[in-house]
């Protein structure tokens, strides 16, 4: 890079790539730029003259021209607009219907769905494992001997019939009485029911009874 | 110069210097030009193409954008006109 200070150029052709000019005067000069480092001008005065592109600079202009002819006029005009506005174009996308361009990344979508399904199966497997290893206590296994009508707050289950708990308690009491009482099942065949505690004691004392004739 | 024929470029960055593209399609592509040997485009289709300039090309655009501040708006207009008219010399 060459630096010029307070220099005066008159009727000259000057290759300006990479140069620094401070407080210089250019009278009717042609500035030649070839695409090298951008020259810098501070407090310079230009009277007449012209600018000429050569080498890579000319190729860049020709490249834009070729894009324009190839059908990319929107993109080229965007670049021109940025250049005229004093902005350095770096990466620009021409306006167009591409904003609604969807449905191109099916592979990525499939991968995301696969990951979501895998996570869902892992969570389901976790709950299934938890259920197998530590199942919830059911009412039948519960040691709570209070009537169901006292265990279930009926006011938070308005969809259930009002007497559901009472009906359950009634059936439970009837079956409990049946297990704890003596009665004939088939007197002619000599089949009777006895309290389950007595039955257990008899089985322990005498062993398993032989099947009654005619019954399996 | 390398010749690329009937190729479909999709969602990628393509450095175009020193290439001749014939019958190619460019979709969701960024064309990068560095200021080297000029590329050629023959019967190509473009859809949602971005333009990027690097090295010499980028510096050239920066130089051109500085021209109005130097008082050379007319020179910039001449360059723009030649680009549009296809008469860049």
Which chain A residue is nearest to residue B28, measuring alpha carbons?
A: A98
B22 in Cβ contact with B39 (< 8 Å): no
CA atoms within 13 A on the CB side of A13: 6
A23 in Cβ contact with A4 (< 8 Å): no
Cβ within 8 Å, pair B46-A83: no
Residue ranges of chain B whose pLDDT lies below 50: none
Mutate one of B10, B23, B71, B83 to test the A interface: name it (highest A CB count within 10 A): B83
Q: What is the reported pTM? A: 0.58
Per-residue pLDDT tens over the stretch A113-154: 999 999 999 999 999 888 887 766 555 555 666 776 677 666
A-B CB pairs within 8 A amount to 154
Which class for A135: exposed (0-12), middle (13-18), buried (19 or more C-beta within 10 A)?
exposed
Per-residue pLDDT tens over the stretch A95-108: 444 444 555 678 88
Interface residue A88 vs chain B (CB under 8 A)? yes
Task: Say if the ipTM goes beyond 0.90.
Answer: yes
Per CB-CB distance under 8 Å, the chain B contacts of A90 are 52-53, 58
Question: How far is the C-alpha of A142 from the C-alpha of A206, rounded, in Å?
Answer: 32
Does residue A211 or residue A80 have the better pLDDT?
Answer: A80
B2 in Cβ contact with B19 (< 8 Å): yes
Per-residue pLDDT tens over the stretch A21-67: 999 999 999 999 999 999 999 999 999 899 999 999 999 999 999 99
Cβ within 8 Å, pair A57-B58: no
């Amino acid at each position: 890079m060459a630096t010029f200070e307070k220099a005066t150029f008159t009727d000259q052709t000057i290759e300006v790539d990479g140069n620094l000019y401070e407080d210089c005067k250019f009278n009717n000069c042609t500035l030649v730029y070839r695409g090298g480092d951008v020259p810098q001008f501070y407090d310079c005065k230009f009277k007449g003259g012209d600018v000429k592109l050569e080498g890579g600079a000319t190729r860049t202009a020709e490249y834009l021209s070729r894009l324009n002819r190839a059908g990319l006029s929107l993109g080229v005009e965007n670049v021109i607009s940025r250049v005229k506005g004093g902005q350095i174009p770096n990466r620009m996308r021409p306006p167009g219907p591409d904003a609604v361009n969807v449905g191109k990344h099916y592979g990525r979508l499939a991968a995301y769905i696969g990951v979501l399904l895998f996570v869902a199966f892992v969570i389901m497997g976790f709950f299934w494992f938890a259920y197998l290893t530590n199942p919830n206590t059911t009412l039948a296994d519960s040691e709570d001997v209070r009537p169901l009508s006292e265990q279930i707050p009926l006011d938070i289950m308005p969809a259930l019939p009002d007497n559901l708990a009472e009906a359950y308690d009634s059936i439970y009491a009837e079956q409990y009485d049946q297990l704890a009482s003596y009665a004939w099942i088939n007197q002619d065949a000599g089949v009777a029911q006895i309290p389950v505690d007595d039955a257990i004691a008899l089985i322990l004392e005498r062993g398993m009874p032989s099947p009654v004739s005619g019954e399996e | 110069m390398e010749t690329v024929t009937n190729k479909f470029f999709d969602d990628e960055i393509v450095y175009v210097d020193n290439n001749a593209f014939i019958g190619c399609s460019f979709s969701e592509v960024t064309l990068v030009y560095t200021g080297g040997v000029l590329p050629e485009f023959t019967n190509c289709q473009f859809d949602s193409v971005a333009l990027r300039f690097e090295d010499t090309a980028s510096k050239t655009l920066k130089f051109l954008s500085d021209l109005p501040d130097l008082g050379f708006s007319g020179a910039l207009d001449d360059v723009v006109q030649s680009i549009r008219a296809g008469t860049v010399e």
